[in-house]
Amino acid sequence: MFCSKKKSLEVERIVKANDREYNEKFQYADNRIHTSKYNILTFLPINLFEQFQRVANAYFLFLLILQLIPEISSLTWFTTIVPLVLVITMTAVKDATDDYFRHKSDNQVNNRLSEVLIDSKLQNEKWMNVKVGDVIKLENNHFVAADLLLLSSSEPHGLCYIETAELDGETNLKVRHALSVTSELGADFSRLAKFDGPDTKLMQNSGKTKFKRTSIDKLLNTLVLWIFGFLVCLGIILAIGNSIWENQVGDQFRTFLFWNEGEKNSVFSGFLTFWSYIIILNTVVPISLYVSMEVIRLGHSYFINWDRKMYYSGKSTPAEARTTTLNEELGQIEYVFSDKTGTLTQNIMTFKKCSINGKIYGEVPEDMGQKTDIPKKKEPMDFSVNLQADRTFQFFDHRLMESVKLGDSKVYEFLRLLALCHTVMSEENSAGQLIYQVQSPDEGALVTAARNFGFIFKSRTPDTITVEELGTLVTYQLLAFLDFNNIRKRMSVIVRNPEGQIKLYSKGADTILFEKLHPSNEDLLTLTTDHLSEFAGEGLRTLAIAYRDLDDKYFKEWHKMLEDANTLKDERDERIAGLYEEIERDLMLLGATAVEDKLQEGVTETIASLSLANIKIWVLTGDKQETAINIGYACNMLTDDMNDVFIVAGNTAVEVREELRKAKENLFGQNRSSSNGHVVFEKQQLELDSVVEETITGDYALIINGHSLAHALESDVKNDLLELACMCKTVVCCRVTPLQKAQVVELVRNYRNAVTLAIGDGANDVSMIKSAHIGVGISGQEGLQAVLASDYSFAQFRYLQRLLLVHGRWSYFRMCKFLGYFFYKNFAFTLVHFWFGFFCGFSAQTVYDQWFITLFNIVYTSLPVLAMGIFDQDVSDQNSMDYPQLYEPGQLNLLFNKRQFFICMAHGIYTSLALFFIPYGAFYNVAGEDGQHIADYQSFAVTMATSLVIVVSVQIALDTSYWTVINHVFIWGSIATYFSILFTMHSNGIFGIFPNQFPFVGNVRHSLTQKCIWLVILLTTVASVVPVVIVRFLKMDLCPTLSDQIRQRQKAQKKARPLRSRRPQTRRSSSRRSGYAFAHQEGYGELITSGKNMRAKNPPLTSGLEKTLYNSTSWIENFCKKTTDTVSCFSQDKTVKL
């Protein structure tokens, strides 16, 4: 009952500040985080349960029980229990090691220190010991231990700025306000812990750790059941044969065997024989299969860890395979779900180009040599003359500085606007350097550009903005701030300059701002539009720049109406928006800016290569639609030559369904779309859609917002969403929550029967990473949450190309060859017993001696197949990268599937026939060279065993594509090992020590010294191998695969490197695309004009603009002093409900 009890939904939370004894009675969760799967007590039962979910392990346990029954077992029990225990132990050790590192990572986080107020004094406390209700002191650049409530801050009006990079990869600063009744408690950041550990947003959004298995593991479970069914059929056949033989022939032997009549009837004999043959034939799937698979996967994991081409020297971060069970799944990925910020981009904005008064300034690309009027200078500009310039800023077009020096009025006004129209806050560090605190990295890039060209934003108050213009301090009176929002898509400031002129400066989306221009701007508008199209084509984020001169009288009347509107209770926002629209008209166009949201290195090439590998990439981001679209174009996921880009932005389920229906009409035609509008969501329908997918011509993209996605994920709409999305080359989901990211991944995973991969860098990507078949974490500067939850991690998105196309493809290729060969050799090895049964009276007599049966899979054939499974490769790593199409066989599951299994099975059956009947026919009524009869059981067994070892060794030599020293040593060494052990076990010495265990004394010397025996072995080998050689030669000659062609080219021209395939980049000329994107949030204008984020008076300067903070003692005293009156404001019993 206690185990099944679920946690009730929490409606409210009652907390008393700094009172652990009171808060403990509510049994809130502690602050310890757990990403591990086991602990000391649960490891053994849970791990054994997971291991015995493998049908094969349960199957071998069942066989072990049978072998303990002496009446039916002709094999000793240790032949099964030793390998089974070995497999389970090795797997358990591997799982324990993986979980140990998870515990280690958890401990690193749990043992971080925070300053907690305990017994009226600050004490260092580990994060895991922080309790709900604790008062915590935070300082600048400190990590946050839990979900906190801001009580007070050193900033005026109880404000603090937080960076959520560890959560979502965003470096933008977010503002949080302290409670008004506690904002005066002290100067240092102080917060109240309200949600700890598993109750925090971060952990609530992380989802549960799932037990992941590869598609090959699942296929093996099915195949093991089939094989068991096949063994049952063989056992029934042999049991029936035994019953018939006992009934017709066995009676004649009863007197000879001293059996009494009726002591053993034929039916019961057949029943016992059935179980005996089940034990003998169980080696079709030996336990060593799983041992070998684990060793191969471990080797592949080390190859990933050791790959120097996936090592990021910038942060000394290697790639890491955090699991060893999913490597071959990396070679079957069909869908990649990627976060944007911090994964595709660096979240670093750089000012690249601008258009001022119809003239482009900025870096000139290599392929634009036709613009000879623009000088191309590769050296960046030298801003050392400007002592306050940002040294990290680079600009390559010297003409802009020349225009500044010549006093171009339009350039001045352009740079002045960049220095005035923003929400940036300035301060000086201890070295006296000017530092900008930016809410939006876009604004930081624009203000920094103006700063380097001589228009330096210095400081601001609620009523003024101070700018240093070419060395002269100029203070502008801030008359109004027209804030940005997602509907207006622009921001404006109205300022009065020292000459008394009132100017409105505005920047925003070109599609919006161009509608506000004065008619006299027509010619300049045409030029600027062309420039914006060029910027957008290069993937740059653009803003249009304009201004307006205002009449003093007109402004006063407008400002009076604005003040009146601010006092309204009803329709206040609508009235204010109307006044903004009224004054933001008849603008004079200055130009446009082009900012680059810097992609991570190699992102474009990686996406292009993965697309050629038929991998579909979906971007799931919390960013705004414009930002996500802009990045899509920057990395060529979206291109202007696409047939259509569908945007779904409906606010209701009806609107979303209608938008999806219209998009499907464009893809499939009216009849198909209308018939499928409200189809019940079934896998059969999606299988039909997968056929239709092949008939879609052209490239399409789908862009959907988070609020629309919420409706689209409903049961009666998600069929339409998934059908449309899977037909599109690119899908971008904007403004999505962590839960929605996971829902999208699960939608594709569950209903497309496709292998998925999710990649991200922040805590908001954890649920997505856990939901996908493969989770990849980017180990960047945004924290370790994504890495801790991932299966693989590395430092740069570009390494995903090598992880999939090289390591993933090789792992899948090797595992498939390993499985095919393993099943082949074991069918060939085991089915000889079946044929022998017809010649031994169905007596369950083994054709080989027990030691050969025990050692065949463990010693004689284990190392060669391991070498092939670990080292083999059909083409080199460079060719794997150069020809992404090589990846498609894994997606289509061509190299090992049910059909390939039956081919291997048929091959093994044929080999078993050759192995048994060729020696049987050769030995029939034949005398040896010494005139003695050689058709004895022991000589027959040795001949077949030797033939088997040589045949499977030659076969693996034919299967090996990439030879190393290890392959040679293992293959030929295994044959030598076989003969060494064979002669040892048949020697007089070992017989003298263990006469009951080694009864084949002297047989090898007698058999293998005769030429006819070796001729039989040679004939058996040729008969087994030659048909395979002929079939493979004809297949490679008549219908070679791409891999065959590249391998032949690789052999012929080892030094030649093929050129990478590149898709032509053309743009649609039929329409212009806006490159507008602005990562800004509404509300900062009101903060600035209210003065809440500014200090009441400037503190005395010591070095720069250092902050004067209250010391910790005064803060504690203030807190303790105000506990009795301030906290009582929360409630009479000094509790607070959050």
Distance (Å, rounded) from C-alpha 655 to C-alpha 705? 13
User: What tokens were used for 762?
Assistant: 């922040």
**pLDDT score of 613 more than 50:** yes
What pLDDT shows up at residue 987? 79
Our measurement of the distance from residue 1127's CA atom to the centroid of its chain's CA atoms, rounded to an integer in Å, reads: 46
- Give residue 111's pLDDT band: very low, low, confident or very high (50, 70, 90): confident
What pLDDT shows up at residue 581? 92
Pairwise pLDDT comparison (727 vs 811), residue with the higher score: 811
What pLDDT shows up at residue 872? 94
Q: Considering only 64-78, 657-671, 974-988, which range has the smallest mean pLDDT?
A: 64-78
Q: Do 803 and 330 form a contact (C-beta atoms < 8 A)?
A: yes
Query: SS3 of 608, please?
Result: helix
For residue 645, what is the DSSP state? E
pLDDT in tens, 530-582: 998 888 878 788 899 999 999 999 999 999 999 999 888 888 888 999 999 99
Mean pLDDT value of segment 495-503: 93
Q: Do 342 and 782 form a contact (C-beta atoms < 8 A)?
A: yes
Mean pLDDT value of segment 678-684: 43
What residues form DSSP beta bridges with 532? none
What residues form DSSP beta bridges with 1136? 15
Phi and psi dihedrals of 1045, rounded to 5?
-65, -45
Q: Do 1020 and 914 form a contact (C-beta atoms < 8 A)?
A: yes
Distance (Å, rounded) from C-alpha 187 to C-alpha 181? 14
What pLDDT shows up at residue 589? 95
pLDDT in tens, 638-647: 888 888 889 9
Please report, for residues 373, 376, 528, 605, 631, the alpha-carbon distance to residue 367 in angstroms, rounded to integers and kept in the order given: 15, 12, 21, 18, 22
User: What tokens were used for 528?
Assistant: 């600027």
Please give the torsion angle defined by the CA atoms of residues 437, 442, 443 and 445, in that order, rounded to the nearest 10 degrees: 80
- Give residue 287's pLDDT band: very low, low, confident or very high (50, 70, 90): confident
pLDDT in tens, 910-920: 999 999 999 99
Q: Which residues are known catalytic residues?
A: 339
Q: Do 649 and 625 form a contact (C-beta atoms < 8 A)?
A: yes
Please give the torsion angle defined by the CA atoms of residues 10, 11, 17 and 19, in that order, rounded to the nearest 10 degrees: -50
pTM score, whole prediction: 0.77
Please give the torsion angle defined by the CA atoms of residues 538, 543, 548 and 553, in that order, rounded to the nearest 10 degrees: 170
What pLDDT shows up at residue 181? 73
What pLDDT shows up at residue 781? 54
**pLDDT score of 240 more than 60:** yes
For residue 807, what is the DSSP state? I
pLDDT in tens, 1063-1079: 444 444 334 566 666 66
- Give residue 1137's pLDDT band: very low, low, confident or very high (50, 70, 90): very low
**3-class SS letters over 147-169:** EEEEEECCCHHHEEEEECHHHHC
Handedness of CA 892, 895, 896, 900 (dihedral sign): positive
Mean pLDDT value of segment 799-824: 95
What pLDDT shows up at residue 913? 96
- Cβ neighbour number for residue 282 with a 10 Å cutoff: 24
Element (H, E) at 690: helix 683-693
What pLDDT shows up at residue 51? 82
Pairwise pLDDT comparison (565 vs 666), residue with the higher score: 565
Percentage of the chain with pLDDT > 70? 79
- Give residue 259's pLDDT band: very low, low, confident or very high (50, 70, 90): low
Phi and psi dihedrals of 381, rounded to 5?
-65, 150
381 — alpha (psi -120 to 50), left (phi > 0) or beta? beta
Percentage of the chain with pLDDT > 90? 35
